[in-house]
Structure 1
Amino acid sequence: MHKKFQHINASVSYTLTGIKEPVIVLVHGFGEDATVWNEQVGFLKENHRLLIPDLPGSGNSFFKNAEVASSIDDFAEMIAALLIHEKISHCIMLGHSMGGYITLAFAAKYPDMLEGFGLIHSTAFADSDEKKQNRLKGITMMQEYGGYAFLKTTTPNLFSEAYKRNNASGVAALIEKGKDFLTAALQQYYQAMMQRPDRTDVLECSKVPVLFIIGTEDVAAPMNDMLKQTHLPGISFIHILNETGHMGMWEKPLEVNEAVDSFVRYVQSS
């Protein structure tokens, strides 16, 4: 069921589907919307209830005033308000890339609402100085050439070489989505990601299990960086996707689905 929710400076579109507990919240990343999870929805909704928002500025959600800056914490607070609106007191939250940053912010602010959480091609580390400089260059490029031109240039780098060779249409489909984004929204996302703090303490202090899904060819969330974090939670589930870039949900959907399902079943039984 597609629904709408009003929250401060945002009109939020989201999908609520499935009937069985627990509730799984799927949080998409930069340059994506809720449809990035399509390969997971059909599988997971048979046994779980899913809440999948379009973040403000993505898909059918929008900022009421695009000039008002939003932080990663603001997005986490929006999801908390949405859960309260739907009378959902506990959930498992899984975030891809920027969605993982939001998931960590949520875990820091609302730990008692989580039964478990997962980072899918995402990191608890803050941006390095080099990464921040690259984001600033990206913001400048968007200002000069527009958000779609920026996504058209950067999106192919999210996929493994094998996927790009064999699934050019999949890469093209994600690039095509870029036409739907306002440049100002993409710039806001970059500013929010640059300003987020290190969240390794959230992993260290987590009282719930944490899932890590890692791609061996991921240049945005490199495997070596991810592996440095996997020992921090008390209970970690680690799934490494071979010959996979930053988009395991598309590149290896069956493996991702099985990894998520195993994680959720463990959380339910613990």
Structure 2
Amino acid sequence: MEKRFEHNGSAGYYEVYGSGKPVVLLHGFAEDNTIWNEQVSFLEQHCLLIIPDLPGSGRSPLLTKEDASIEDYADIVHALLNFENIEKCLLFGHSMGGYITLAFAEKFPGKLAGFGVVHSTAFEDNEEKKNTRRKAIKLIEEYGVYPFLKNSTPNLFSETYKKEHPERVADLIEQGKKFTKEALIQYYTAMIKRPDRTSILEKSDVPVLFAIGTEDSAAPLEDLLKQVHLPKVSYIHIIKDVGHMSMWEKPSELNKHLYQFIKDCS
């Protein structure tokens, strides 16, 4: 069921499914709430799912402030929880959604019973990564959203998945047509500015889940292995033959890991 709320005069849209323990799922860059559809069909039987379209995605308007940040997106998630009168939740974020999850854990730790980063990292961008994002911004400005996503989106998937499911890769590229240049540039700018949040993992008093793909070039296994030991309680899931998109590439395996974490944190 689609619902609407307001924060600082701007509307936000989100989907609600199931009942029970509140679980929030945050999508990543150039995605919307539908990226979690495979998880919804399984998890809605076990918990209350709240899945927002972040600003600039789906029907949610882009933030109008020029210096929008990952922290601003975390504030919007917090406002959504307050709107739904939710005291505590489990929060999972994919990629950019993982950055928002970590910012939320820093700002509002009392709201969390546990959290997870799905193909995401607590490390800040190194200079090489920042420059890659800056080049992406220039490409979007020069050529537009669709040509950029048509070129970059296949890199999110494992080689095997791309060969076996080219139509799914094409679907994600097509979905990207809904995004404006301004939205993708705002996301990239916010990601470039975000700080290192490994200290949030170290300080966490709640369990933390890590979902890692062995073929993920965006959030590489070797980088994640340097931080998974930091929380007091870590659930570490290394998913074989998966790139950056286990929600689609191996949904049953990811669902199993999320369900066990939700069950243990209840």
Deviation sequence 1:50-76 (CA, Å, 0-9, x none): 0000001011111263x6331000000
Deviation sequence 1:167-197 (CA, Å, 0-9, x none): 0011000000110000100000000000000
Cα separation, 2, equivalents of 1:181 and 1:152 = 13
- TM-score w.r.t. length of structure 2: 0.98
Q: Given the alignment of the two structures, is residue 52 of structure 1 paired with residue 54 of structure 2, yes or no?
A: no
Aligned ranges 1:186-225 → 2 under 5 Å = 186-225=184-223
Aligned ranges 1:150-161 → 2 under 5 Å = 150-161=148-159
- TM-score w.r.t. length of structure 1: 0.97
Q: Given the alignment of the two structures, is residue 137 of structure 1 paired with residue 138 of structure 2, yes or no?
A: no
Query: Does the 8 A contact of 2:81 with 2:87 survive in 1?
Result: yes
Give the match's secondary structure for 1:32.
coil
Residue type of the partner of 1:24? V
Cα separation, 2, equivalents of 1:148 and 1:126 = 27
What CA RMSD, in Å, does the superposition of the two structures yield over aligned residues? 0.9
Give the match's secondary structure for 1:63.
coil
Partner of 1:8: 8
Cα separation, 2, equivalents of 1:151 and 1:88 = 36
Cα separation, 1, equivalents of 2:143 and 2:10 = 26
Tell me the matched-pair count: 266
Deviation sequence 1:71-124 (CA, Å, 0-9, x none): 000000000011001101100000000000000000000000000000000000
Partner of 2:256: 258
Moved over 4 A (4+): none
Shift, 1:9, TM fit: 5.9
Partner of 1:73: 71
Cα separation, 2, equivalents of 1:210 and 1:58 = 26
Query: Does the 8 A contact of 1:9 with 1:63 survive in 2?
Result: no
Taking only the aligned residue pairs, the percentage that are identical comes to 55
Bigger Cα displacement from structure 2, 68-77 vs 245-254: 68-77
Shift, 1:16, TM fit: 1.3
Cα separation, 2, equivalents of 1:94 and 1:148 = 28
Query: Does the 8 A contact of 2:56 with 2:63 survive in 1?
Result: no
